[in-house]
Amino acid sequence: MLSGIDYFIVITYIIGMLLLGLYFKKFVNSSEDYFLGGKNLPFWAIGMSIVVSDIGALDFVGVSGQAYRYGISVGNFDWVGSVPAMLLAAFIFIPYFWRGGMYTIPEYLGRRYNKSVRTIASVTWILFFALDLGVLFWASAVLLNVLMGWPIWVSIISMAGVVGLYTYFGGITAVIMTDVVQFIIMFIGGFALVVLCLYEVGGWDSMVDKINNIGPQYQSHFEIIQPQNTKSPFPWTGILFGLTFVMANAYMIGNQAIVQRCLTAKNEWHAKASMIFGSALKMFIPILVLFPGLMAVVVHPGIADGDQALPLMIKSILPPGLIGLMFAAFFAGLMSSVDSLLNSTSTLFTKDIYEPFIKKGATDKHYLKVGQVTTLVLLLIGVATSPISSDFPGIYVAIQTFMSYFQGPIFAILLLGIFWKRTTQWGGLSALVIGIGFAIYLNVFKERFFTIEDPFLYISWWSFLLSAIINVAVSLLTKKHTAEELQGLVFNSKILVENKKL
């Protein structure tokens, strides 16, 4: 499928990323440099990094496939499922995390609630990220094997080598600055495909007419709001309650891989601006990952497996050279996801587990070394465990489901923790434990409770709601925290009434 020029582009890109990442080694002299980039990065780089880390190679294929099957409603995940949450993060949560000099989200939870909440949250994220790493390696290698014919282990080892090297030496600065280039490559490759696809189908209006005329099953392909009783996994009720109110916020506010980037900002304004800039860029993502799937309905109607939509479009539409660029975009998605997982997991382990439980009061150089060694160990674990995915094909879905157990409860305790000073450590702890248990219960007996096939949006909402109720009830029954304990950890509503211009 690839010509000589395509291979040249892909290999040049990979080598370029390695060299660029290694260049940032010289800026790493302390653990703050390694985990927070010396708190010296600009908003635009962080904003691009947030967006590109969120889009992996698998998303290109998966979202195009869902767009092929369900239409434009898939775009909800990047539009209403991102923008409001990113604004909430930018204006409320990020300033508190940034001012507090925090490294991790569990660190905030530890200060606001107690050590147990911090440890549960941190261990859960570490487990999720570590498992995800192996699965990501394997799934992406299989994708590259299908699309490019590369042997699976060549893909895994070359990818692990390149990403591992620059993440090990350059820390989060290397991660973010390589993400900037990866973002640009991804956008150029993605937009080239969209423009050529649009030309192929005769323009937007022509595509809409053709899809609407194919048959009744495509009548709702251009309706972003799906009815409550839709057969698709995206009814508007799930999008509003599960996605907009809970999962999006949990992801943008409670996800270490996202928030850690904002904490690298050179000042509070840059920290806030990075999220808002990221939200603006995020609105373009559906154009890149969703539109090719829609256009495939016209060019290749009747595909049994929607996930074949994007590969078929690339094969049939892109000329040599641009195919290479598109594959470089795939690599960009993969590399940015892997480097984020590595750096974030290393930060969580070093700051939330190693420092408080294994070796307190060591030198900064020691923690820097621990962070680097953890990155290396994680990489080896990721490579070694990646074949597990071939034995358990459903493991990717299983890991994502596991994460959805956690989203509602974690957002409930973050939200109440920052907005309600009466929330206590026991309220937070019981909400987290009972909320996760309830989410697991709902998922195990989902056929009993839900009518749609994959009710993860509903599960996240109901587990959020129960966690919030438990948090309030237990907090009211237990001893409240003192004003000193809450200093700098709870949103101060006085800033609103102090605005003289209103």
Q: Which is nearer to another protein, 49 or 244 (CB)?
A: 244
Instruction: Kindly tell me which of 118 and 272 has the beta carbon lying closer to another protein.
Output: 272
Residue partners of 216: CB distance under 8 A and separation at least 6: none
- 58 or 263: CB nearest another protein: 263
Nearer to another protein, 68 or 330 (CB): 68
| HSE-up of residue 133 (Cα within 13 Å, Cβ side) | 30
Rounded least distance, CB 184 to another protein, Å: 21
**CA-wise closest residue to 253 among 415, 15, 463:** 415
- Positive or negative, the CA dihedral 43, 45, 47, 53 is negative
DSSP 353: I
Q: By C-beta, is 59 or 78 nearer to another protein?
A: 78
- Cβ closest to another protein, residue 220 vs residue 423: 220
For 373, half-sphere exposure in the C-beta direction (CA atoms, 13 angstrom radius) is: 8
- By three-state DSSP, how is residue 226 classified? strand
Q: Cβ of residue 214: shortest distance to another protein, in angstroms? A: 18
CA 54/CA 50 separation, integer angstroms: 6
Residue 265, SS3 per DSSP: strand
Residues lying near another protein in the complex (CB under 8 A) are found at 72, 75, 79-80, 83-84, 87, 90-91, 95, 222-229, 235-238, 240-241, 244, 267-273, 276-277, 279-280, 283, 442, 449-452, 455, 458, 462, 495-496, 498-499, 501-502
Q: How many residues does the chain have?
A: 502
Select 73 or 374, whichever has its Cβ closest to another protein.
73
Q: How far is the CB of 64 from another protein (least distance, A)?
A: 18
The 3 state secondary structure assigned to 134-200 is HHHHHHHHHHHHHHHCCCHHHHHHHHHHHHHHHHHHHHHHHHHHHHHHHHHHHHHHHHHHHHHHHHH
Q: How far is the CB of 89 from another protein (least distance, A)?
A: 12
Q: Of 16, 38, 19, give the one whose Cα is nearest residue 27.
A: 38
DSSP notation for 47-90 = HHHHHHHH--HHHHHHHHHHHHHHGGGGGGGTTTTTHHHHHHII
Q: With contact defined as beta carbons under 8 Å apart, do 14 and 162 qualify?
A: yes
Distance of closest approach, residue 408 Cβ to another protein, in angstroms: 13
Shortest distance (Å) from residue 491 CB to another protein: 11
One-letter identity of residue 85: A
Which lies closer to another protein via its Cβ, residue 378 or residue 436? 436
Q: Which is nearer to another protein, 217 or 499 (CB)?
A: 499
Q: What is the DSSP letter of 41?
A: B
Nearer to another protein, 340 or 467 (CB): 467
Q: Kindly state the smallest distance separating residue 236's Cβ from another protein, in Å.
A: 4
Question: Of 306, 264, 258, 260, nearest to 282 (Cα)?
Answer: 258
Question: Closest separation between CB of residue 60 and another protein, Å?
Answer: 21
The least distance separating another protein from the CB of residue 492, rounded to whole angstroms, comes to 10
Three-state DSSP class for 318?
coil
Least distance between another protein and beta carbon 331 (Å)? 29
Cβ distance to another protein smaller for residue 271 or 314: 271
Q: For residues 488 and 24, what is the distance between their CA atoms, to the nearest angstrom?
A: 33
- State the minimum distance, in angstroms, from the CB of residue 468 to another protein: 16
Q: At what angle do helices 115-148 and 322-348 cross, to 10 degrees?
A: 160
